[in-house]
Structure 1
Amino acid sequence: MKKTFFKKLFLLGCILSLISSCAPTSISESGRIPVIYLSEAEDLIALDQIEALFNEAELSENPSPTMLKIAILFAKSGSPKRSEDALKLITPEVLRDQKFIEYSLLKIELSLRSHDPNAAKKVINHARFELLESSMSPKNRQRVLSLRADINNELGYPIEGIKNLTELSLLLESQSDSLKIHNRIWRELTSLPFDTLSECTKDKIYSVGEWCNLARQMRNSQNNRDAQMSLFLKWKAEESQHPASQISPSWFVDLERKWLPYTQVAILLPMQGQYRGPSQTFLDGFLNAYYELYEQDNLSLPEIRVYDTSVQTIQKVYSDAVQEGADIVIGGIRESEAAALSDLTIVSLPTITLNGINNSESPNSANLYQFNNAQYDEILQIGTKAKRLGFKRAIVIFPDQNWGYQASRHFSGYWTGIGGILVNQVPYSEATKDFTQHLKSPLNIDLSEERGVNIKRFVNSQVIALPRRRQDIDFAVIFGYPEKARQIKPALDFLYAADLPVFSTSRIYNGIYQDDLNRDLGNIYFTSMPWTMPKQLPRKLQSNYEMHVAYKQLYARGYDSFLLLRNLETLKLNTDYTVFGATGELSLVNMTIKRRVQWAHFRDGKVRSLP
């Protein structure tokens, strides 16, 4: 190969190395060690030069060592796709140990960037890579542990990820870096269900088990900051050698902050007419959480006052609550009421609305928080999961009710916005009984049957023509409650779509184990609220067993509203802080309460939590 080629390669590498040296090398605030190869910004001039080098290197007899340099140059110049192309031309067996490490790290970073943790896991668990790991430089060992944590979290093995981070923290010399890792560990722990934390306390690794024990104790008292502080100080004294005792996560520092708790809570609900049932259900859930707090000793409880918005405007009722000494307001369960609160000239108290505000994500007032009843956050999770699975084309089946059209619009907007294609949107009415006929046309079964008839008529009457569904659908999304979903999924199976992946939201499951009925929901993946899954909460909700799913979810939102008012000041401090509630993991982003939930799967009539 010509000397000029190597000269160009060397000079270009020097320039990009100089640029890369300006990138951050310390651990980020998110607790991650920065990637060393990937760049988000494209360097078009450099890419043209690298492309020429790539073409020349392809012609060499042993391209692997040179192609590795070119793959790294592509990655550093902002072209991960071309970096992957270059890696495919490398024979890793011929690389020397140091180059093999570089090759592996680049491949892992590219795989994680493409949301393919299984590919990353295959590389990081390669026998040669594991053998070399013990002899790596301290920086590379730290980087590998950080990558292992990312891989385990992506694959749904959070405790394994926490083990990686615990080991990583022991290798760090900087106290500030250790704090960032401890903050990351704590964020991971606060997102885990209660049963996972309980199981993790038995871990054989002392530091991991005690991390989980601490998180479990905090979860048990997350509506009581004073109790949490007392428990932490007791734990800290008993476990003085634990890393979290020596360098405590920032969450505990913020827990020590003193602020006056809300002492008079005004709840604004329409307690008469058609909204009486929903309002009472919400209130029952709220009081469920309130009385859990009441059972704890030596605690000053807030006073609860309920104001009826059935006969007076919510503006008038809000004004009355302010004049009577309320220091926080929860209400606006109707969309019109939430909008009226948003239109107030002055929202003088912290106010949590219970419905959408002009279809806006962020309320206008600095005191107005939105705890929406929409499924928007769950819909985003469905879209994100489908995207990561490599799906492109979707069909959406939804009820022809306001919430159904809203859910379909949300999914359509998000899915097409990230490059997906919506093949069809199929509404159904409450009166629909035969979903086999209803779904024939959207799946093109009717056209396939017509082709079969024509073949028999004009070609060969002895031909057995089996209908086929359209093949340009990657997955289906069903919006609906269990009663209708139990009719829709069997209809899809009958119409030759049993192999089609199906996703749904939490409304598809009522939290009751009914093996015989739930068999009809087989193989549906859905976003599940913690209240529906055994032992995901410290205490089971006390809702009526026979309630409809919609009412049970309303009860759970009442419960979570109490948790929010008890933790609102903490959530305001940092968007990374969360509360693990009955409806999901709750956080505060731009004055809006966001929900993140776990995944579950129907199989053989049973519901299984997924990692």
Structure 2
Amino acid sequence: MRESNSRSNNLTRAMLIMWTSLFLWGCAGAPEKDTPVATAPLEQLPEPEPDTASTLPKSQHTDIFNQAEASLATHDWQQADVTLQALPQSAMTTNDKAYLTYLEARIAYTHGDQAQAIALLDNLLFMDIHPALQYRALSFKHYILEMQGDSLASAQLADQIMRFAPQDTVAAWQRNVWLNLARADKDTLLNARAVVVDPRFKGWLELALVSRDNTYDPSAALTQWRNSHPGHPAGNTLPGGMGYSFQPSSQRDKVALLLPISGPLAPAGKAVLNGFMAGYYAHGATGRGSADLEVFDTAAYASASAAYDAAVSQGTTMIVGPLSKESLVDLGTRLERPVPVLALNRIDQVLPAAGSALVQLSLSPEDEVVSAANIAYGKGARNALLITPAGDWGDKMSIALREHWTALGGNISSHATYNGYDDYSNSVKTALSLDASEQRAAGIRSIFGSDTEFTPRRRQDADVVFLFSQNDSEARSIKPLLAFHYAGDLPVFALSNVYSGTPDERNRDLNGLYLVEMPWLLGSNPGLRAAITDGGVGDHYTRLHALGADAFLVQNDFQRLQAGADALFRGDTGLLRMGPDLIIRREMSLAIFDGSELQRP
């Protein structure tokens, strides 16, 4: 019994050391994005007793805590707050008080007070509490940092948590370390490596830098990294699916591109092809081999299936394409598919589980909706105004936002749609409830029978606007109307289709507008982009060039997808991850219009 208590005390002491190092960069509200962090050296954490980090301590107030947890699970922070009022302050243990503080932090965060949530979590630094409560508090702090976009801090915290986390969660924490390091830019990683003293986290940083160096043999570099970091948790199973990259594969021997090279979709097909070939030649320039390629013009065949069969008959081991939704439906629903496919579009229907894998990579705007919602929520927004065009596209974006925003814990305060230019102002007024304000003023005038000085008042329950216009012209017309109608103080988020990809003086009307954009247009691969335009190809289809470049990236390392949820690609269209439905989803980057120029905030 004495030995058990000693081990528990050692674990608590080690966690307090961890809290001390984390406190240096986790207090005082929202951290600055990707700021390098120096931490004090950590002691080796002792092995926790079984389930100490997963099983909460016993409490006579368990029912109240469980009721509050249930309310927070549905984002009902008000009910959780009411429930916790029943706790008798005088009859609470140290662990009870810690649990209460943790729940109060969740309540604060749920209603948008992020600084208060962080402050409450940091108060636990000074409390000697049960490891399971420490684990919950650290996990929640990690979630806040990640949603705020502090990639480096959240990666470092995930690495710390992984050292004492329940065994069945260690793989998820390791995946999270790597995901957040992938979100950080190279300069951030280099600066952090120069100041971080914890050897284990420095090993993570060095591995992330190795993974981004395409100038030499990656297998040799990874072998050298392993030799330099014996016993590192990433050493046995390389993160991101990198370990699969060095397994022999026959799927890259001969690749067929099924693209429309003639007909009405020819400009799009050629743009994707140009991006793919730019990636192909850049990879070849490093001295590493690539597959043989052959292009099949889908417009020359009766169907995508016919083009697929023609490619397979010539010994193709992998297909890239088709590009259109109709062709993807045709190819995806066939029952016999002997060769795997990397399709360049996405369809909503569930495909039959037959034949070789069919992976879908696309420029789906739904991915952008998710990225925009995550960023806005991470910045503290909770109540949104949504403005969309009438029609199928607007309905689709509205559904995507509602599903994800409410899952996060947000609320759609108002949704307005517009049909055309003449409808823009009325739609904005409806979203802001200015029409109701004007009606109230008209009622007052009718009562008093004279002119009354009146300033319209917009609704006050909103803290963000999602402006999901279909093009830049619509956005340039609507964005200034928000300021004109007394909503100029609200942050406005849009999708990438409000930016053509080239600078335009007219975009001054979008000044201050946030949008989610692909890394390609924010300078992720300037050499590849220049190679395309220098070859005499215009930049009018720049996003399709990026799709082609990412198609090569994924095709060239297709076996990495065997890692499933761990597979990760730092692509030019976004951070690429594949779900269990074999759909690759993109995580986009935040950008803002500064005058007419688009740049990172």
**TM-score, normalized by length of structure 2?**
0.75
Match of 2:157 in 1: 164
Tell me the amino acid that sits aligned with residue 571 of structure 2.
G
Instruction: Give 1:281 deviation, angstroms.
Output: 0.8
- Cα deviation, 1:263-313, whole Å, max 9, x if unaligned, reads 21111112123222111111111112111201112x222111111122322
Which of residues 592, 602, 605 in structure 1 aligns to 2:583?
592
Cα 1:295–1:609 shift into 2, 3 Å: same
In 1, the alpha carbon distance for the partners of 2:182 and 2:176 equals: 10
In 1, the alpha carbon distance for the partners of 2:169 and 2:358 equals: 36
> Matched residue of 1:575: which SS?
helix
Is 1:300 aligned with 2:289? yes
Output aligned runs, 1:3-82, within 5 Å. 26=51, 34=54, 36=56, 71-72=64-65, 74-75=67-68
In 2, the alpha carbon distance for the partners of 1:469 and 1:138 equals: 48
In 2, the alpha carbon distance for the partners of 1:450 and 1:89 equals: 44
Determine if contact 1:117/1:155 at 8 Å carries over to the other structure: no
Match of 1:211 in 2: 204
Instruction: Give 1:350 deviation, angstroms.
Output: 0.7
Instruction: Give 1:464 deviation, angstroms.
Output: 3.0
Determine if contact 2:428/2:482 at 8 Å carries over to the other structure: yes
> Matched residue of 1:496: which SS?
coil
Is 1:531 aligned with 2:526? no
Is 1:85 aligned with 2:85? no
Tell me the amino acid that sits aligned with residue 152 of structure 2.
I
Tell me the amino acid that sits aligned with residue 192 of structure 2.
C
Match of 2:126 in 1: 131
Determine if contact 1:262/1:328 at 8 Å carries over to the other structure: yes
Cα 1:450–1:588 shift into 2, 3 Å: closer
Tell me the amino acid that sits aligned with residue 292 of structure 2.
E
Match of 2:177 in 1: 185
Which of residues 95, 101, 104 in structure 1 aligns to 2:101?
104
Determine if contact 1:586/1:594 at 8 Å carries over to the other structure: yes
In 2, the alpha carbon distance for the partners of 1:577 and 1:137 equals: 35
> Matched residue of 2:222: which SS?
helix
Instruction: Give 1:483 deviation, angstroms.
Output: 3.5
Cα 1:217–1:362 shift into 2, 3 Å: farther
Cα 1:491–1:141 shift into 2, 3 Å: closer
Is 1:270 aligned with 2:265? no
Tell me the amino acid that sits aligned with residue 266 of structure 2.
R
Is 1:541 aligned with 2:529? yes
Percent identity among equivalent residues? 23
Is 1:576 aligned with 2:566? yes
* Structure 1 range deviating more: 265-274 or 536-545: 536-545
> Matched residue of 1:601: which SS?
strand
Determine if contact 1:383/1:414 at 8 Å carries over to the other structure: yes
Match of 1:396 in 2: 387
Cα 1:76–1:383 shift into 2, 3 Å: closer
Determine if contact 1:510/1:532 at 8 Å carries over to the other structure: no
Cα 1:162–1:565 shift into 2, 3 Å: same
Is 1:121 aligned with 2:114? no
In 2, the alpha carbon distance for the partners of 1:422 and 1:550 equals: 37
Instruction: Give 1:163 deviation, angstroms.
Output: 2.6
Determine if contact 1:187/1:577 at 8 Å carries over to the other structure: no
> Matched residue of 2:566: which SS?
coil
Cα 1:440–1:167 shift into 2, 3 Å: closer
- Cα deviation, 1:9-45, whole Å, max 9, x if unaligned, reads xxxxxxxxxxxxxxx9659xxxxx547389xxxxxxx
Tell me the amino acid that sits aligned with residue 386 of structure 2.
I
Is 1:149 aligned with 2:135? no
Instruction: Give 1:521 deviation, angstroms.
Output: 1.7
> Matched residue of 1:125: which SS?
helix
Determine if contact 2:68/2:83 at 8 Å carries over to the other structure: no
Which of residues 563, 574, 591 in structure 1 aligns to 2:553?
563
Determine if contact 1:117/1:154 at 8 Å carries over to the other structure: no
Determine if contact 1:587/1:594 at 8 Å carries over to the other structure: yes
Match of 1:230 in 2: 220
Instruction: Give 1:583 deviation, angstroms.
Output: 0.9
Determine if contact 2:385/2:415 at 8 Å carries over to the other structure: yes
Output aligned runs, 1:407-556, within 5 Å. 407-408=397-398, 410-411=400-401, 420-421=411-412, 423-429=414-420, 432=421, 435-436=424-425, 439=428, 459=448, 461-469=450-458, 475-510=465-500, 512=502, 517-534=506-523, 536=524, 541-542=529-530, 543-544=532-533, 551-556=541-546
Determine if contact 1:383/1:411 at 8 Å carries over to the other structure: yes
Match of 2:349 in 1: 360
- Cα deviation, 1:72-97, whole Å, max 9, x if unaligned, reads 35457887766543445669799775
> Matched residue of 1:541: which SS?
helix
Determine if contact 2:57/2:132 at 8 Å carries over to the other structure: no
In 1, the alpha carbon distance for the partners of 2:312 and 2:189 equals: 41
Match of 1:281 in 2: 271
Instruction: Give 1:347 deviation, angstroms.
Output: 1.7
Instruction: Give 1:214 deviation, angstroms.
Output: 1.3
Instruction: Give 1:454 deviation, angstroms.
Output: 7.8
In 2, the alpha carbon distance for the partners of 1:179 and 1:356 equals: 29
Tell me the amino acid that sits aligned with residue 117 of structure 2.
A
In 1, the alpha carbon distance for the partners of 2:447 and 2:427 equals: 29
Determine if contact 2:341/2:359 at 8 Å carries over to the other structure: yes
In 1, the alpha carbon distance for the partners of 2:402 and 2:167 equals: 46
Instruction: Give 1:599 deviation, angstroms.
Output: 2.7
> Which of 1 and 2 has greater Rg?
1
Tell me the amino acid that sits aligned with residue 395 of structure 1.
L
> Matched residue of 2:567: which SS?
coil
Paired residues, number: 540
Instruction: Give 1:523 deviation, angstroms.
Output: 3.5
Cα 1:288–1:508 shift into 2, 3 Å: same
**TM-score, normalized by length of structure 1?**
0.74
- Cα deviation, 1:229-248, whole Å, max 9, x if unaligned, reads 22100222234475645886
In 2, the alpha carbon distance for the partners of 1:602 and 1:241 equals: 46
Unmatched 5+ stretches in structure 2: 1-48
Determine if contact 1:281/1:551 at 8 Å carries over to the other structure: yes
Instruction: Give 1:489 deviation, angstroms.
Output: 0.2
Determine if contact 2:335/2:352 at 8 Å carries over to the other structure: no
- Which structure's relative contact order is higher, taking Cα pairs within 8 Å and 6+ residues apart? 2
Determine if contact 1:219/1:538 at 8 Å carries over to the other structure: no
In 2, the alpha carbon distance for the partners of 1:104 and 1:409 equals: 36
In 2, the alpha carbon distance for the partners of 1:443 and 1:148 equals: 34
Which of residues 313, 322, 327 in structure 1 aligns to 2:317?
327
In 1, the alpha carbon distance for the partners of 2:97 and 2:430 equals: 54
Instruction: Give 1:136 deviation, angstroms.
Output: 5.4
Determine if contact 1:476/1:503 at 8 Å carries over to the other structure: yes
> Matched residue of 2:212: which SS?
helix
In 2, the alpha carbon distance for the partners of 1:507 and 1:201 equals: 37
In 1, the alpha carbon distance for the partners of 2:80 and 2:256 equals: 59
Tell me the amino acid that sits aligned with residue 352 of structure 1.
L
Cα 1:470–1:185 shift into 2, 3 Å: closer
Match of 1:312 in 2: 301
Determine if contact 1:397/1:428 at 8 Å carries over to the other structure: no
Cα 1:395–1:369 shift into 2, 3 Å: same
Match of 2:5 in 1: none
Tell me the amino acid that sits aligned with residue 101 of structure 1.
A
Cα 1:518–1:202 shift into 2, 3 Å: farther
Determine if contact 1:363/1:369 at 8 Å carries over to the other structure: no
Instruction: Give 1:582 deviation, angstroms.
Output: 0.8
> Matched residue of 1:156: which SS?
coil
Tell me the amino acid that sits aligned with residue 587 of structure 2.
R
